[in-house]
Structure 1
């Protein structure tokens, strides 16, 4: 192998190793809560679709603005005539011909019952509504990501507890094995310890599965692969856990004014009112102004483009003197050019009660949508009251589970001392330890339940939920 070949191969090996190292580092990246939420908001397919809906609404607004502008249209035609027909000079001739027509027309609506004005206002509401719909979707996705993230943290803590219990159980089994071998303990104690270790191993497997499934759930929510996906560890300190809000009333007072769900309902009422006004606009006449210019060209097949012109009267015969004059395409276009302007007024008189029915439907719809706002406020208030009650209950549960855990741990220490003195059996000791394990699980569940419930309250107050 030549020196150059060796250098080339070394370069390739280094490049491959660098790529593998980069891939490994990419997989080992631990996502923070803020990164997870930001990524979801930037890449979620539903959000991208809603952004496109907003762009459509902006184009609808552009179209509504265009209703106030005059239209301008150009037309061109090519035609052939065979047999008898009326030419452009109004004479009937029996010669085959071909011709062209050109026109330019403009028009503008001066008044149509304010429909264009109301359509423009409606399009502006459409843009606002699409933005609010986007806000609602982003809020819901953020809350879902936070919930999934906290679930992973909960499962990881549960996994740590399960691992710690394995260490304790193994240590206890080794001690009892030595005591049994020395004849200081009955073999039954050894069976109890082995049974406890087996139960702890099963608990460990279940805890690991819960971590894996919760990581998969968040990865799917972020719409990324779950392979190598993990999150940052967060130390949640609830030493001085207190409920920030004294009552649900202060949250409701803010939410029924500022929450996007209420704003969209209010926009729907405005939109319904505009629909009503648009329907009523059909009662009014429509006034338009228009103008145009047109010209034409005609050629008789087999003949030159000429026109017969009377230049005078023959003094001898008294007959008109007619001469042929060139009348080609340019000449005809210039000579046949004409203009027109005018107003058009359309007055609705009777259309089979269609306008009456449309107005009535719009009025009923307006009343129905007004009720939707009240329903939305009631639903929001009920949800907040429930969320506040859940947060209060979760705090009480957290404090109770904390006290219970401390009590169970003291009970276990006492039982361990009795066991060491030989006045308690290993079965009784493991029973107490299982109660400690259950208390730890309840405490963890209460801890993360309280954290999420407080995040929900922050959510209704539009406060950051990633902090």
Structure 2
């Protein structure tokens, strides 16, 4: 049994280690990074809750068309004295309770409820548009951070290659120094250059670490073991997809959320005007209610009903303080002793009072506005002025979008030109470096001159890498405004 347990424990820890190893070896693709950010970003989650609030606002607006029903209950203890109907002061303590139901519905209020419902629907669409705008912004941030990480890795490869070249150069110089062809100072210079290249390599690694840290923080995932998938970006036929910005702008007007948000604001302002105008119309309400009550004098029996058997229609209410028997008749003499009246007492308790006191009510109320100090007129004018202001907002949104696309287009074109120039420069520097290597090996070129050529090659490689990734992002940004999802495939 002990051996089996140890075996199970070993398998368990082996599984855990394999899972940890898989987690550390995972390399994120761009699509995975964007998807993870859109799913886990806190701002996006908050915006998603804003959509839920907008849906609840629609439910609330629908409720304005439905009747209301409210119940009520009360209980009161009254102490002290009061003036009776005969003018005498009566000192007594009473308890009174009651319950009721009230229902009401607005039949007409100048289409205010209808416009509030339309406004709630626009609110939901506005929250969805804002949600999409936030997703677009987060996606661009992720793509830019991802490309920065790729650029850092590219620069690391360049620095690593320079270290290898320096190491090979030291080996070659050692041979020449041993043969007496080169002075020993050349070896010292080469070793110093290797140390400098190693320093650049460390700086390049730090740049990768910072880029990955920035991306992992954007994704809100642990930085330990985080890495991205290497992407081979081929720009052998680099060119812009579009000749000018007009085509991109016309397409962006149809799909960009910031434009739709400005249009929704205008529609919402038009509804605000109609809501303000609703105060000019009469309001019609229909209502109904029912209620009942119970009253009791503290310290006394509830009142009873005295019925004349010969005149069942005669009903009187008198206090009976100690009725010994409510079933047997009680003989109460009248003013005429020859004509006694026979009465029968009946309890008038809680249930009977609630039943006897039950009452109903139904009614219609109409409120017609006549004059309210020009407040309604002022509200309408403010709503109209606000609409005019919001209309300018749409024009500003279009102008901002066009400026953004123009700048992105010029940036992309400049990045393309820079890439082509850097590519041509690198080709020339590579040829110059090969020639310099031969000259240096033959003793024609000094170490300082050779190092200058080598530095120009390194700068050309770095410049091309920067130009390449800059052009990729700028060109993808243009595609993004055109409505094409960003991808590095």
- Which bin holds the TM-score, normalised by the shorter protein? over 0.9
Structure 1 distance, partners of 2:126, 2:98, is: 48
Q: Does 1:383 align with 2:407?
A: no
Matched, 1:157 2:154: yes
| 1:103 corresponds to | 100
- Please name the residue that 1:55 is paired with: 52
Kindly indicate whether the alpha-carbon contact (under 8 Å) linking 1:64 and 1:119 is maintained by their aligned counterparts in 2.
Answer: yes
Corresponding residue number in structure 2 for 1:462:
483
Q: Which of 456, 465, 468 lines up with 1:447 in the alignment? A: 468
Cα deviation for residue 242 of structure 1 reads 1.6
Measure the CA separation in 2 of the matches of 1:85 and 1:292. 30
For 1:30, the equivalent position in structure 2 comes to 27
Query: Which segment is superposed worse, 326-335 or 130-139?
Result: 326-335
Cα pair distance change 1:399/1:272, threshold 3 Å? same
Structure 1 residue 124 corresponds to structure 2 residue 121: yes
Consecutive unaligned residues in structure 1, runs of 5 or more = none
Question: Secondary structure of the residue that 2:293 maps to in structure 1?
Answer: strand
User: Is contact 2:305-2:348 (8 Å) kept?
Assistant: no
1:436 is matched with 457
* Structure 1 contact 308–322 (Cα < 8 Å) conserved: no
Q: 2:257 aligns with which of 257, 260, 264?
A: 260
Q: Does 1:361 align with 2:378?
A: no
d(CA) in 1 for partners of 2:222, 2:119 = 42
Q: CA deviation at 1:336?
A: 1.1
Is the Cα contact below 8 Å between 1:41 and 1:138 reproduced in 2?
yes
Structure 1 residue 146: Cα displacement: 0.7
Provide the rounded CA distance (Å) in 2 between the counterparts of 1:12 and 1:232. Answer: 34
Q: Does 1:374 align with 2:374?
A: no
Check 1:320–1:371 CA distance in 2 against 1; reply closer, same or farther (3 A cut): farther
Q: Output the CA distance in 1 between the equivalents of 2:47 and 2:174.
A: 65
Shift of 1:319: 8.2
- Separation in 1, partners of 2:341, 2:39: 86
User: What's the counterpart of residue 136 of structure 1?
Assistant: 133
- Residue 11 (structure 1) aligns with: 8
Secondary structure at 1:273 match in 2: helix
Task: Measure how far apart 1:309 and its partner are.
Answer: 3.9
Count of aligned residue pairs for this structure pair: 461
SS of alignment partner, residue 339 of structure 1: strand
- Work out whether residues 479 and 485 of structure 2, in 8 Å CA contact, stay in contact via their aligned partners in 1: yes
Per the normalisation by structure 2, the TM-score is 0.89
1:221-370 matches, within 5 Å, as 221-311=218-308, 312=311, 322-370=343-391
2: CA distance, partners of 1:321 / 1:413: 138
- Distance in 2 between residues matched to 1:424 and 1:142, nearest whole Å: 51
Q: 1:331 to 1:251 in 2, by over 3 A?
A: same
Q: Based on CA coordinates, which of the two structures has the bigger radius of gyration?
A: 2
Cα distance in 2 for partners of 1:86, 1:295 equals 25
DSSP-derived class of the 2:76 partner: strand
Per-residue Cα deviation, 1:60-87 (whole angstroms, up to 9, x for no partner)? 1111110111100011111222344699
Pairwise CA RMSD of aligned residues?
2.2
CA contact (8 A) 2:147 2:469 kept: yes
User: Is residue 405 of structure 1 aligned with residue 429 of structure 2?
Assistant: no
Instruction: Return the offset for 1:197.
Output: 1.3
Contact 1:189 1:427 in 2 (8 A): no
**Structure 1's 206 and 75: CA in aligned 2 closer, same or farther, altered over 3 A?**
same
Q: Does 1:170 align with 2:167?
A: yes
> Contact (CA 8 Å) 2:251, 2:483: kept in 1 or not?
no
Contact 2:28/2:227 (<8 A) preserved = yes
SS in 1 for 2:443: coil
Alignment correspondent of 2:329: none
SS of residue in 2 equivalent to 1:388: helix
Q: Distance in 2 between matches of 1:46 and 1:73?
A: 40
How many Å apart are 1:316 and its aligned residue? 7.5
Once the two structures are TM-superposed, the CA of residue 330 in structure 1 deviates from its matched residue by 2.0
How far is 1:358 from its partner? 2.4
Q: CA deviation at 1:24?
A: 2.3
Q: How many angstroms does 1:20 deviate by?
A: 2.5
